[in-house]
Amino acid sequence: MSKSTKTNINKISVITLGCAKNLVDSERFSGLLQANGFEFTDANNADAMVINTCGFIKSAKEENVQVILEAAEQRRKGKLKKLIVTGCLSERYNKELSSQIPNVDFFLGINSDKKILKILSGDQKYTLTGERMLFTPKHYAYLKISEGCNQKCSFCAIPLMRGKHITEPEDKLVKEARGLAERGTKELVLIAQDSTYYGKDVSKKQSLAVLLSKLSEIEQLEWIRLMYAYPRQFPLDILDVIAEHPKLCNYIDMPLQHASDSVLRSMKRGIKIRKIESLLDTIREKIPNVTLRSTFIVGYPNETDADFRLLMDFIERQQLDRVGVFTYSHEEGTSAYPLGDPIPEKIKEERRAELMLLQQQISLKKNKNKIGNTLKVMVDGSNENGYFGRSEQDAPDVDNLIYFNSEHEHKPGDFVKVTITNAEEYDLFGTLMAN
Ligand code: SF4
């Protein structure tokens, strides 16, 4: 029996593009649709499709428009009865998209859960409460602790799409986390645009430390991981909480973007490299075996060769564990836009490659030092080569994997001990230890 007599729509396909925050948004509105009797399927068998888009940087925007055009073609052919586009790209370029791309029924902004439900339901009777669906394997899940951002990074278009920082109430997050843990989540990954700003819009005081310790009381959770910290006004009290609670991973992801003061100033990061390095020292003092992840931008308009050398020296000096590098994307509406985009793509790519090569060597040396160590590994899955999983040092989807063989059956979410026998730049290989 189809869910909505009026719209004759029963099966939905949800396509999520972009970051884990977008994934949580899709999980939340899909939970609402599921609670109202809609079923989920792949694009070929769907009556309607919802595309949750990303509008962050040029390459992502191009990829997203391609996905929308392909779906619009399905709509034109009548394969889809309804096509809804939502999320960051649709929030940022609503007018342009609506006027340039036909055969899309609705271009909606972010957080359009109710509108999506109303459009697909057609008739009035529907409930507005629904348990969040999970699109990640169920042994790990993301917890989005806030929306938007109050920082003013000159290169970043996110505040244009996501708006001001809004903290998710603590009790609501703890309830959501408990629900996930009861459904089998072992690893909770805390995400936001700026996770360390948590609570500051509500009480002028950052309260991430309180949230972390509350979450660490949830019995079924094994790992709680913090991502997207911001270096300026970093809440040092979270370091004590992380050091104290074994469930809180000794892991901090903190995008730093650059290491030259003139570039950091132009980027409006509000912090100098000396302060950043003393913060990293403090983090390492408080959490001795901490894993530090960061991301950097090369090719920013005022980045000179000398600035890039400063960044290379910083990476060499700091020996971070996990590093991602983006090339500068010239985004209209950002405060850096008037600076133009003077650095050729070729130079940007060369700098990115040079920085990644340096980090590869650092990562290989660190990985080799782990040979002989026995690590607690959470199983993520298996393939023809055996099992693979991650240690506390590796976030899902972005970090390294540990491969091992075993005669035993292991399910995703199981914890095993693996002794490392071999290492590559990023991944490790080992043998299962008897528990
Ligand atoms: S912290 Fe900076 S880079 Fe991150 S979302 Fe906010 S403005 Fe963008």
Phi-psi region of 340 (alpha: psi -120 to 50; beta: other; left: phi over 0): left
Phi/psi at 133 (5° precision): -75, 165
Residue 177 burial (CB < 10 Å; 0-12/13-18/19+)? Answer: buried
Contact residues for 143 (Cβ-Cβ < 8 A; gap 6+): 24, 173, 176, 177, 180, 188, 189, 190, 191, 215
Question: pTM value?
Answer: 0.95
CATH code for the domain defined by 140-368? 3.80.30.20
Strand 402-405 versus strand 322-327 pairing type = unpaired
Using the mean position of ligand 1's atoms as its centre, give its distance from the Cα of residue 115 in Å. 27
194 lines ligand 1 (CB under 6 A): yes
The whole-angstrom separation of Cα 193 and Cα 91 is 16
Per-residue model confidence as pLDDT tens digits over 317-367 = 999 999 999 999 999 999 999 999 999 999 999 999 999 999 999 999 999
Per-residue model confidence as pLDDT tens digits over 77-108 = 999 999 999 999 999 999 999 999 999 999 99
Using the mean position of ligand 1's atoms as its centre, give its distance from the Cα of residue 328 in Å. 14
Of the candidates 81, 96, 84, 90, the residue with the CA atom closest to the CA atom of residue 51 = 84
193 lines ligand 1 (CB under 6 A): yes
- How confident is residue 13, by pLDDT bands cut at 50, 70 and 90? very high
C-alpha dist (Å) from residue 225 to 183, 189, 230, 391: 18, 5, 15, 12
Per-residue model confidence as pLDDT tens digits over 250-268 = 999 999 999 999 999 999 9
Using the mean position of ligand 1's atoms as its centre, give its distance from the Cα of residue 97 in Å. 25
CATH code for the domain defined by 11-121? 3.40.50.12160
Q: Which residue has the CA at smallest separation from atom 2 of ligand 1?
A: 153
Tell me which DSSP letter residue 394 carries.
Answer: -
Query: Across the beta sheet with 140-144, what order do the strands follow?
Result: 140-144, 187-191, 223-226, 248-253, 291-298, 322-327
Other CB atoms within 10 Å distance of the CB of residue 268: 15
Tokens (6 digits) for 169: 């109430």
149 lines ligand 1 (CB under 6 A): yes
Using the mean position of ligand 1's atoms as its centre, give its distance from the Cα of residue 338 in Å. 18
- How confident is residue 109, by pLDDT bands cut at 50, 70 and 90? very high
230 lines ligand 1 (CB under 6 A): yes
Using the mean position of ligand 1's atoms as its centre, give its distance from the Cα of residue 7 in Å. 40
Using the mean position of ligand 1's atoms as its centre, give its distance from the Cα of residue 428 in Å. 32
Q: Quick one: pLDDT at residue 2?
A: 47
Q: Which residue has the CA at smallest separation from atom 5 of ligand 1?
A: 193
Q: What are the sequence ranges of the domains in the chain?
A: 11-121, 140-368, 374-433
Q: Which CATH architecture has domain 374-433?
A: Beta Barrel (2.40)
Note whether 379 and 413 are within 8 A (CB): yes
The whole-angstrom separation of Cα 74 and Cα 158 is 30
DSSP string computed for 172-233? HHHHHHHHHHHTT--EEEEE-SSGGGTTHHHHSS--HHHHHHHHTT-TT--EEEE----STT
Using the mean position of ligand 1's atoms as its centre, give its distance from the Cα of residue 345 in Å. 23
| Index of the ligand 1 atom closest to the CA of residue 159 | 7
For a pLDDT cut of 70, what percent of the chain falls above it?
A: 97
Per-residue model confidence as pLDDT tens digits over 186-244 = 999 999 999 999 999 998 788 999 999 999 999 999 999 999 999 999 999 999 999 99
Q: At what angle do helices 208-215 and 237-244 cross, to 10 degrees?
A: 10
How far the first Cα of the chain sits from its last, in Å, is: 50
158 lines ligand 1 (CB under 6 A): yes
The whole-angstrom separation of Cα 218 and Cα 216 is 5
| Index of the ligand 1 atom closest to the CA of residue 149 | 6
**Is 48 strand, coil or helix?**
strand
